[in-house]
Amino acid sequence: MSTYVKLARAFKEPPEVHEFWMSMARHEAGHIGALELLEVMIEQSGTTAPVPQLSQAAEAAASVIERIHDEADAPVTLARAFELAIELESSEVEDLVCDLFAILADAEQRDQAEQMMVHDLSDLSLMIEKYTRDDALLARADALVERHVGRRERHGRS
């Protein structure tokens, strides 16, 4: 979340780009709330639900997040900022959150979380297409969207 706030501060113009980064920060704040909700659900479940192993993936994601957060302190181009967002959104943390929701939450909560993720990634793809000429970066963003749309379709949600 704080990385996206840094990028919003760095890119105040054009206003559409600034608002995009603020929207990404707000959605990440929502993910924080979702993780806290999941933590409470796990504690109160009293079951031994098959919760995925988080340690290795969480450590790897934390390393990536920290590196990206530090890089966002320095001046970056808009194209590089989009690359950083792709790296953040490609981390395994998003998949782990979806897996946890699949185990612990009801279908409506899962669907809402997955819809938000697809929406964010679609917006990222649109911004990359509009503000860069980087076809490879656009392809990476589109692949992320397709991955999450495919996940929704595999689970019977569209």
Query: Per-residue pLDDT for the chain (158 aa), expressed as one digit of tens each?
Result: 999 999 999 999 999 999 999 999 998 887 777 777 777 777 777 666 555 555 677 777 788 889 999 999 999 999 999 999 999 888 766 666 666 666 666 677 777 777 877 888 899 999 999 999 899 999 999 998 998 787 766 655 54
Domain ranges of the chain: 2-44+53-154
Output the pLDDT for position 150: 79
CA distances from 85 to 26, 64, 104, 106, 122 (A): 14, 11, 28, 29, 12
Which ranges constitute the DSSP H helices of 51-91?
Answer: 55-71, 78-90
pTM of the model: 0.78
- According to DSSP, residue 150 is labeled H
Output the pLDDT for position 158: 47
Nearest by Cα to 96 from 28, 38, 11: 38
